[in-house]
Amino acid sequence: MSKTKTKEENATPTVKIYIMGSMHEVPASLTIMKAMEYAGFKFKRGAGCRAGFCGACATLYRKAGDYRIYAALACQTQVEDGMVLTQLPFVPAPKGIYDVDSLQPTASSILKFYPEVARCLSCNACSKVCPQEIQVMDYVQYCLQGQIDKAAELSFDCVQCGLCAIRCPAEIPQYHVGMLARRLHGKYNMSTPETLIERVEEIENGVFEEGFKELKSLSKDDLKKRYIERDFVDQKKA
């Protein structure tokens, strides 16, 4: 009963896509992820945030009449006619086990846990596949040269989808390498503002306790009054 399509549905333009070898006709406006659901798949692996932030939905596909392999985040990419899709099993690359407190922001810290970085062939396969369009090879090279700040900044938008590592002939887990670079940079190269350290001390010394006591003792009406009268120092208000 429910399978009959409404008029509107019939009017939607559709495309033909191939999922694991079988053909499906799906509305042309869908993302790859929604198209697979439309076709009857229920995701268990291969879907997470559904918004381009978690990297769970990394997908490889081919297009009709094109020999190349394309890569994308399935939740952020619209289907195209003739797409041939496969689902990638997520195989996490091994991650180094380290204690950042005992490291320095240097190439040797990185090489200690990821010696394979020295084997980079500069083939650039990783940059080409990255769905975030990150210059992956460049950040790997920056690590090798000890330019941890540059590696950290360049790798910043990585969603850890793992596609780069899958393509790497030197078996480098680039996204783990970038992670370590960012932690080293964030910890050692970026200073901790004095104002933060002072504020933590003030709180630990109970400087605001009296103030909290007073605020907590106010009636709801008095609180409301305070709230309305509070000043805004940073923002323009009418």
Partner 1 sequence: MKMIRGYPEDMRKSIDNVNKTRSKRIDQIIEDLSLEERKEVLDNFHPDYNPKYKRNISWGVNKGDNVPNEVADVIEAYPMVNPDDIDLSKIDYDVNVLIIGAGGAGTSAALWANYSGVPKEEILLVTKLRLGDCNTVMAQGGIQAADRPVDNPLIHYMDVIGGGHFENNPNLVKALVSDAPKIIKWHKDLGVMYDCTEDGSFIENPGGGTSRNRMHCSKDYTGLEMFRTLKDEIINREIPYLEFSPAIELITGETGGIAGAILYNIETKQYFVVRAKTIILTTGGFGRLHVAGFPTTNHYGATMDGVVMAYRAGAKLRDLDATQFHPTGAAFPEQIVGLLITEKTRSLGAQVLGRNGEQICYPLEPRDVEASSLIKCCTTTDNYIETPTQMRGIWLDSPLIEEIKGKGTILKNLSAMYRMMNRFDIDITEDPILVYPTLHYQNGGVELDENCYTSLKGLLAAGEISGGVHGKNRLMGNSLLEINVFGRRAGITAANEYKKKSTVGKLTLAHVHKSIKALDALNLKDKRYSPTILPEYRSDIVRDRLVQLYEQSL
Per CB under 8 A, contacts with partner 1 among 83-102 are 90, 95, 97-100
Minimum distance from CB of 196 to ligand SF4 (Å)?
30
Q: In the complex with ligand FES, which residue's Cβ is closer, 32 or 148?
A: 32
Based on the number of CB atoms within 10 Å of its own CB, is 164 exposed (0-12), middle (13-18) or buried (19 or more)? buried
DSSP run (H or E) holding 146: none
- How many other CB atoms are found less than 10 A from the CB of residue 9? 10
**Is residue 186 a contact point for partner 1 (CB under 8 A)?**
yes
Residue 176, both tokens = 């783990």
**Is residue 57 a contact point for ligand FES (CB under 6 A)?**
yes
Question: Site map for ligand FES, 72-91, x if CB under 6 A?
Answer: -x-x----------------
**Is residue 53 a contact point for ligand FES (CB under 6 A)?**
yes
**Is residue 52 a contact point for ligand FES (CB under 6 A)?**
yes
Give residues with Cβ within 8 angstroms of 36, minimum separation 6.
19, 43, 74, 85
**Is residue 19 a contact point for ligand FES (CB under 6 A)?**
no
The count of C-alpha atoms lying within 13 angstroms of the C-alpha of 151, restricted to the half-sphere facing its C-beta, is 30
Q: In the complex with partner 1, which residue's Cβ is closer, 122 or 196?
A: 196
144 binds, among partner 1, ligand SF4, ligand FES, none (CB under 5 to 8 A by kind): none
Q: In the complex with ligand FES, which residue's Cβ is closer, 48 or 146?
A: 48
Q: Is residue 30 a contact partner of residue 17, using CB atoms and an 8 Å limit?
A: no
Point out which residues pair with 84 in neighbouring strands.
18, 62
Point out which residues pair with 31 in neighbouring strands.
78
Q: In the complex with ligand SF4, which residue's Cβ is closer, 31 or 139?
A: 139
- Interatomic CA distance for residues 99 and 97, integer angstroms: 7
**Is residue 34 a contact point for ligand FES (CB under 6 A)?**
no
* Contacts to ligand FES by CB under 6 A: 47-50, 52-57, 73, 75, 159
